[in-house]
Structure 1
Amino acid sequence: MTERRVSLFVAGTKGANLLRALFDGPDAPAPGFFPLAQVHLVASYSSSGLSHDPRAEIMEICRRHGLLYRDRHELKTTDYAASDLVLLAGWQYLLPDIDDRFIVFHDSLLPHLRGFNPTVTALILGDRRVGVTAFRPDEGVDTGPVYGQEALAIGETARIGEVYEALGGAYARLARRLVERAAMGSLAATPQDHSAATYSLWRNEDDYTIDWTRAASAIRRFVDAVSWPYLGAKTRYRGAEIRIDRVMEIPDLRFPLRQPGKIWTLSGNGEGADVVCGEGMLRILAARTPDAQPLRFTSLRQRLGE
């Protein structure tokens, strides 16, 4: 068996969670994070669309463990020319000269949900099983042959932050297995079943908006799926945009004339509000004003979204 030299290209929450699980997690071996391997380089960059930038944590882990760090804008192919393996997690930029050393970690069980933010899509859909796939990149979108997968069962009310945290451990376990197999000369990939592929579209700021005509269960899943570390689901209240952080489904009432988005009653001295949905009802448990302060609902006769 031959010791492998590994470069890690990690970014965003998923990349930070992988790095933390590898070096600071309960299963992290000492003195290094891989048996039969050493980290040659860690590369990253600033991320947008999140409530915080995980690059600072990535850099701090590198500093604490004495790892060589390179920002994407300073990265040169010569920096990782000596690496036997290049593992990518949360990385969203094209790289030159991709070869067989590169292994991409994608947070779905391919071929299900190829594309963008698959775990967010999985939570919105109500999937109870998520996971990570490691594959060899090719010319398609997440179509390359698979080196391995790690599945994770999640609860009905799982929120994206806790799922990403758990997936960090799944990333780390899969990465260790693959590096060990590479050291033993037994790293092989299996083609995907392209006929079974599904896809996840990219999301932008418009996609955070709550559609109150949908069922309460679907809206609750949506709120959970775009909660921290993302910016949070949004709607309008008294003409201003607000962020909804947490909701719960409550028993429905019989409205012969149903008008989704209307507040039915306030709760908790204005800390929450019960809202009519296209089907069912939701209680808002936590919301924020445009300046990120906790919102107190003070006006009952309001229709959210207007």
Structure 2
Amino acid sequence: MKLVFAGTPEVAVPALDALIASGRHEVAAVVTRPDAPAGRGRRLVASPVAERAAEAGIEVLKPARPRDPEFLARLAEIAPDCCPVVAYGALLPKAALDIPAHGWVNLHFSLLPAWRGAAPVQHAVMAGDEMTGASTFRIEEGLDTGPVFGVLTEQVRPTDTSGDLLTRLAFAGAGLLAATMDGIEDGTLRAEPQPADGVTMAPKITVDDACVDWTAPALRADRVVRGCTPAPGAWTVFRGERLKLIQLGLAPERTDLAPGDLAPAKNSVHVGTGSHAVELLWVQPQGKKPMKGADWARGVRIAPGERLG
């Protein structure tokens, strides 16, 4: 089939690579978000998908909005059979959805109808899910509501950050998306409606969502830190400044600390939660590099009675 691939971040690149390497399909163009400012100089930088497509000699389309007439005209001119999508990052209008004969097929990193929305992996980790996965589905005008072609499952490991889990899903999901394109082409794959039960939503995680509540149980604090790593980054407050939390360790044997209370030792620093303590394994103070929690504690010289939050 002739394909136009839509995607933007690094997590979409494995799927693009899988389609290029499949040998069965022609990736005629890619659609990605416009170049965005990045780095200290805030210079405009192409998305990872745009860079990979350019390397492969594939036409790159960067509409400011997918409803722009120029973009719709070029898409109709290319006349793709199907448009596979991974983390494109913009809502597609009906005028665009109607162009390919087999529609737009999204690779979504959850077991639909669970975790519909922008941040399924982060929400799965923060909710303590033991199992998640990826789904391919036909895009409709609703939010991740379309019929599903295929799924794969992936265990959520106890130490997984959202970054760890998303990396595994990106590579496994690339194979699922390529297989979905194969099945659509040869007519062996049929999309099935999503069940009405089990719907959960996964809106974008905000900076406020990433603030650790020390009155919550230790498991909740750990899940927030893992779910918000690498982005947007979990945090708390110490001496009026934000302290980024990169990794915690559970310390169920220690129940003597009130929520937020700090207990530094020679080679560790613990903080109280609503259940038992956690150890600050890795943190990042404002304007500094990540460091071990014990090194941070020695550097700031925590006084008796000082706390987080």
What band does the TM-score fall into relative to the shorter chain? 0.7 to 0.9
The answer on whether the counterparts of 1:11 and 1:54 sit within 8 Å (CA) in structure 2 is no
Letter in 1 for 2:26: Q
Counterpart in the other structure of 2:273: 277
Separation in structure 2 between the aligned mates of residue 287 and residue 277 of structure 1, nearest angstrom: 17
Instruction: Give the aligned CA root-mean-square deviation in angstroms.
Output: 2.6
The answer on whether the counterparts of 1:85 and 1:103 sit within 8 Å (CA) in structure 2 is yes
Deviations 1:65-96 (Å, cap 9, x if unpaired)?
22211223286013322111111111231223
Letter in 2 for 1:64: E
Separation in structure 2 between the aligned mates of residue 175 and residue 138 of structure 1, nearest angstrom: 17
The answer on whether the counterparts of 2:5 and 2:16 sit within 8 Å (CA) in structure 1 is no
What does residue range 101-250 of structure 1 map to in structure 2 within 5 Å?
A: 101-228=103-230, 230-250=231-251
Moved more, 289-298 or 101-110: 289-298
Name the SS for the 1:199 alignment partner.
Answer: coil
Counterpart in the other structure of 1:17: 11
Deviations 1:230-252 (Å, cap 9, x if unpaired)?
13101101111111111111233
Letter in 2 for 1:78: A
Counterpart in the other structure of 2:75: 80
Name the SS for the 1:278 alignment partner.
Answer: coil
Counterpart in the other structure of 2:91: 94
Structure 2 vs 1, CA of residues 21 and 85 (structure 1 numbering), >3 Å: closer, same or farther? Answer: closer
Greater RCO between the two (CA within 8 Å, min separation 6)?
A: 1
User: TM-score normalized by structure 2?
Assistant: 0.84
Alpha-carbon shift at residue 54 of structure 1 (Å) = 9.2
Counterpart in the other structure of 1:44: 32
Alpha-carbon shift at residue 108 of structure 1 (Å) = 0.7
Alpha-carbon shift at residue 284 of structure 1 (Å) = 0.8
Task: Confirm whether residue 8 of structure 1 aligns to residue 2 of structure 2.
Answer: no
Task: Confirm whether residue 260 of structure 1 aligns to residue 259 of structure 2.
Answer: yes
Deviations 1:138-177 (Å, cap 9, x if unpaired)?
2322211111112112311111111111111122111111
Counterpart pick for 2:22 among 22, 34, 42: 34
Alpha-carbon shift at residue 63 of structure 1 (Å) = 2.4
Counterpart in the other structure of 2:307: 303
Letter in 2 for 1:154: V
Runs of 4+ with deviation above 3 angstroms: 50-56
Separation in structure 1 between the aligned mates of residue 269 and residue 35 of structure 2, nearest angstrom: 33
Letter in 2 for 1:260: P
Structure 2 vs 1, CA of residues 170 and 80 (structure 1 numbering), >3 Å: closer, same or farther? Answer: farther
Deviations 1:257-301 (Å, cap 9, x if unpaired)?
x52011022453xxx521111111111111112214345222323
User: TM-score normalized by structure 1?
Assistant: 0.85
Separation in structure 1 between the aligned mates of residue 281 and residue 35 of structure 2, nearest angstrom: 29
Structure 2 vs 1, CA of residues 292 and 59 (structure 1 numbering), >3 Å: closer, same or farther? Answer: farther
Deviations 1:48-73 (Å, cap 9, x if unpaired)?
9x999995432331222222112232
Separation in structure 1 between the aligned mates of residue 45 and residue 168 of structure 2, nearest angstrom: 16
Alpha-carbon shift at residue 21 of structure 1 (Å) = 5.1
Name the SS for the 2:197 alignment partner.
Answer: helix
Letter in 2 for 1:200: A
Separation in structure 1 between the aligned mates of residue 75 and residue 288 of structure 2, nearest angstrom: 41
What does residue range 52-67 of structure 1 map to in structure 2 within 5 Å?
A: 55-67=46-58
Structure 2 vs 1, CA of residues 286 and 55 (structure 1 numbering), >3 Å: closer, same or farther? Answer: farther
Letter in 2 for 1:265: P
Task: Confirm whether residue 290 of structure 1 aligns to residue 292 of structure 2.
Answer: no
Letter in 1 for 2:219: S
Name the SS for the 2:259 alignment partner.
Answer: coil
Where structure 1 has 5 or more consecutive residues not aligned to the other structure, the ranges are none
Structure 2 vs 1, CA of residues 129 and 252 (structure 1 numbering), >3 Å: closer, same or farther? Answer: same
Counterpart in the other structure of 1:69: 60
